[in-house]
Amino acid sequence: MPRQRTEQFRNRKPSDHRRAFLARRLRREVKAVRALREQRAALRE
């Protein structure tokens, strides 16, 4: 199983890695924005 994973990793294109990195960063930013929005809503109440 670990060997198969390394094969997949080796076969990946650099663009795929970049896309995964950007998607991860975007998800983290969305989470942060949502948390800020919830904080503001809590303050407004």
pTM: 0.51
Q: Backbone phi, then psi, for 10, in 5-degree steps?
A: -70, -35
Question: Chain-wide mean pLDDT for the chain?
Answer: 85
Looking at the predicted structure, is the pLDDT value of residue 20 above 90? no
* Cα within 13 Å of Cα(43), Cβ side: 6
Residue 19: pLDDT band (50, 70, 90) is confident
Q: Classify 25 as helix, strand or coil.
A: helix
Residue range 21-42, pLDDT digits in tens: 889 999 999 999 999 999 999 9
First to last CA, the chain: 52
